[in-house]
Amino acid sequence: MDTDIVQTVARHSEEIMGAEGFRYVSAVVANCKMLAIELEAQEEDHTESIDQEALVIAAYFHDISTVAYGFQDHHVKSAEMAADFLRQQKVPEEQVHKVQQALLGHVLLDPDQRAAVSREGQILFDADQLGRLSGLAVVTSLIEFGSRYPNRAVTGDVLASVLRHIEERFIELYQSLYTEPARDLARDKFNSTIAFLDGVIEHLSDATPV
């Protein structure tokens, strides 16, 4: 999927996101391509085709607003920024709409909203979450906790509470995946991470403040 507009969007994303941000974006793009291929192979009689160009463009744009505006409602702002850029590139309005719909659906939504998420939005959501269902995400969550509460004593009870919250979040994310290929890819890492968290929480009763 290397059409001119995709290459233009990729360059624009790299300029905005910087090298580190673009590495993560590129991983999500790769996950999108892989999931789309798996889904099309599994669903030979599928009635709703996947617009891979719109999907890949949305993947390049999915976090683009976070650089300037942070993560609060970033799906809405990213969709706006994507539409503005694509219209400047004279992309047909139908394709702009598909990209916007994918971006608006790529976050965790209420159950009554999930049914309306486009096929591309479902794949983008799953591709984005695959990187968040591993042991590395536990480390990231703990670092975020430390930076948010730098002066808080970390007792065994506090750490156990934080890890339970992380575990609940992991379970929620795994259960929210739309596609079977994504669940298959995430299952081993997810199970290993949950087992690790359960083991740590179980042994924290004797922990001392650190």
Task: Check if the beta carbon of residue 194 is closer than 8 Å to that of residue 171.
Answer: yes
| Tokens matching residue 41 | 């192979």
Summarize pLDDT for 88-106 with one digit per residue, the tens: 999 999 999 999 999 998 8
Which sign, positive or negative, has the C-alpha torsion 63, 64, 70, 75?
negative
Distance CA 125, CA 43 (A): 19
Flag the least confident range among 80-94, 100-114, 151-165, 186-200: 151-165
Summarize pLDDT for 61-90 with one digit per residue, the tens: 999 999 988 888 889 999 999 999 999 999
The pLDDT of residue 1: 58
| Over residues 29-35, mean pLDDT | 95
Looking at per-residue pLDDT, the higher value among 165 and 122 belongs to 122
The yes-or-no verdict on residue 210 having pLDDT over 50 is no
The yes-or-no verdict on residue 43 having pLDDT over 90 is no
Domain boundaries, the chain: 1-113, 131-210
Specify the pTM: 0.83
DSSP string, 109-133: --HHHHTT--HHHHHHHHHHHHTTS
The pLDDT of residue 28: 94
Q: Which candidate, 1, 16, 5, places its Cα nearest to that of 91?
A: 5
